[in-house]
Amino acid sequence: MNTNNTFRRIAFGVYGLVCYAAFLLTILYAIGFVGNYWQVFGWDGLHSMDVAPTAPFGEALAVDTALLALFAVQHSVMARKGFKERWTRIVPPAIERSTFVLASSLCLGLLFWQWRPLGSTVWEAAPGGPSVVLVGVSLVGWLIALVSTFLIDHFELFGLRQASSAIRDRPDVSAGFATPAFYKLVRHPLYFGFIVAFWATPVMTVGHLLFAGATTDYTLFAIQLEERDLIASYGDAYRTYRRRVRMLLPIPRFRRDESPVEDHAALPPSSRPAV
């Protein structure tokens, strides 16, 4: 038995688990951060969208914009095929995805830590029913995003399957992407869920509006990059899927010569979403 190889494979597995744990902590914190839930639970020491150390408006705007830009650049660059080809000359392919997940988690962690509230209220829902409904819609958005990851391959998306394959010393084989459930309605249900979660809030402050608007703009931009890569890889097959299924709005798209989308299982495997 090659001791060095065994140690290397175990190290890859442990690293994958650590990166996945970082992701779980980050996404759970994100839910509380965006919804200002930490203060509802009495955890005043934790930062939320509208409860954090303050700064003059200009400084706060500059800091928040820089934090959002850092996350966008990291996400866009590390998700591109050309970067991955160069990056995997340094980082072993088995932990490339885990490293991406860790970098994204660190960027989000920095954003949560250094975010500066821009507290002026843009709109506020009436107490009671309307506020409860908006909170519920936001949580449904988070749920849609979570379920969407399992509809494709949650553990591949966040690097665990690659690390597991390394531990077992087996090649990582993609399970493919057959557009199940939500993917028959929109091409990017994961992003749709995030947009719903970010915009559905009973109190929309200037800071929250900046966050929701910037992340939505970035999402629309990231989708263009992602779909360009998919078309380059799969050509007409993905073009056909794109013509038949809307990008984000779950509204059926009909053409005179075809019926509603029923099954896209014949589509080739897609690349992993850049999340």
CB atoms within 10 A of CB 99: 19
Question: By mean pLDDT, which of 58-67, 122-131, 147-156 is the weakest?
Answer: 147-156
| pLDDT-based confidence at residue 261 (cuts at 50, 70, 90) | very low
| Amino acid present at 46 | L
Residues of the chain with pLDDT > 90, as a percent, come to 59
User: Mean pLDDT of all residues in the chain?
Assistant: 86
What pLDDT, on the 0 to 100 scale, is given for residue 263? Answer: 40
| pLDDT-based confidence at residue 18 (cuts at 50, 70, 90) | very high
pLDDT digits 0-9 by tens, 177-228: 467 778 888 999 999 999 999 999 999 999 999 999 999 999 999 999 888 8
Position 272 pLDDT exceeds 60: no
Position 266 pLDDT exceeds 50: no
CB 209 within 8 A of CB 61: no
In 36-95, where does DSSP find H-type helix?
37-40, 57-79, 81-87
CB atoms within 10 A of CB 183: 22
| 267: its two tokens | 């589509």
Residue with tokens 């744990």: 21
